[in-house]
Amino acid sequence: MSVDRRSVCSGLAALAALGPSRLEAAGGFDAMVRHRGGTHDSLAAALAAAPPGDRPWRILLGRGKWEEKLAVRRPNLVLVGEDRRTSVLSASAAAGQAKPGGGSWGTYGSATLTVEAPGFVARNLTIENGFDYVANLRDRRVEGAQAVALALGDAADRSVIESVDLLGHQDTFYLRAGRAAVRDCLIAGSIDFIFGGAAALFERCEIRSRLRPGETLQGYVAAPSTPRAQPIGFVFDHCRLTREPGLPDGSVWLGRPWRAGGNPALLGAAAWLDCWMDAHVAPEGWTWMGYKGPGGYPMRLEPGDARFFEYRSRGPGGGRHAARRQLGDAQAARFRRVLGDWRP
């Protein structure tokens, strides 16, 4: 079944602008999750009610904090918040913590919301991982402390994330595979908080680095693990790189190349196009990342060996440091076509 995604998204934008009472009258949703007066009292129940098939299933998430840890496995699932700031989907799981039924969470398994189907749309809400990362810096009870808010899995493709706040610390947004259009979002974190192998276009997003109290190194924004055969990975277009109060100048790297599992078929790719950067961005921009090579020997992938680029960066953290490779006009235009023939 063919789905016109542009008409779906524009229609949802018009519906969300109506306000809660008129939304119901408009009849634009298949399910409404509310503490009172909805069709369901949990998002899990609304997801379970979706019938098989490919037609879009539209869910309105009402105001409130919905403490649920969920996976989307149905194609063309559309999730719209009643209010961006107060419609909050939240869980608190981190890699290394015990999970129900035995064992412990891994990075991917820690996600508050995991998408394992194509055609997913999220709009006008907040998704957070509430794991207390700052407290863990003090007591180190959890090793690693990867805690994902949103994960787009291997079966995800043509995902649209629009006007969403994604909040976490380490590994906030895991774009594992597929294509994603991310627009007008706030993405907040500290360590590798936008990472994975997807082809993704981030447009007009605020990328906010969070304070790690007492730490000299404050973090890394992106950690792409792009397949070597994939020409373009993450593209940040007209985004703003901001910081929490107290975060020092020059203490955050634009990113580092993640070679997941030491796989030589992965070679990180990312580009920052027409972005404004505050002074917390390190002058050199990019840095290396370690991995285990054949036989388990420690190795490192240098940023110069990966595919990292910039184009017309502005602000106190922008500029033309020798280590930050620049694109020309034609090259930047090609990077903006990262999504190929998909026009969300």
Report how far residue 261's alpha carbon sits from residue 38's, in angstroms, rounded to the nearest whole number: 45
- Non-local CB neighbours of 276 within 8 Å, separated by 6+ positions: 239, 240, 241, 313, 314, 315, 318
Is 192 noted as a catalytic residue in this protein? Answer: yes
Report how far residue 256's alpha carbon sits from residue 284's, in angstroms, rounded to the nearest whole number: 12
Residue from 157, 192, 237, 278 carrying the catalytic annotation: 192
Single out the residue of 178, 194, 60 nearest to residue 123, CA to CA: 60
343: which 2 tokens? 């026009």
The string of DSSP codes covering 218-247 is: -EEEEEE--BTTSS--EEEES-EEEE-TTP
- Residues counted in the chain: 344
Q: By CB neighbour count within 10 A (0-12 exposed, 13-18 middle, 19+ buried), where does 329 fall?
A: exposed
Q: Do strands 64-67 and 87-91 pair parallel, antiparallel, or not at all (unpaired)?
A: parallel
Annotated catalytic sites, by residue?
Answer: 192
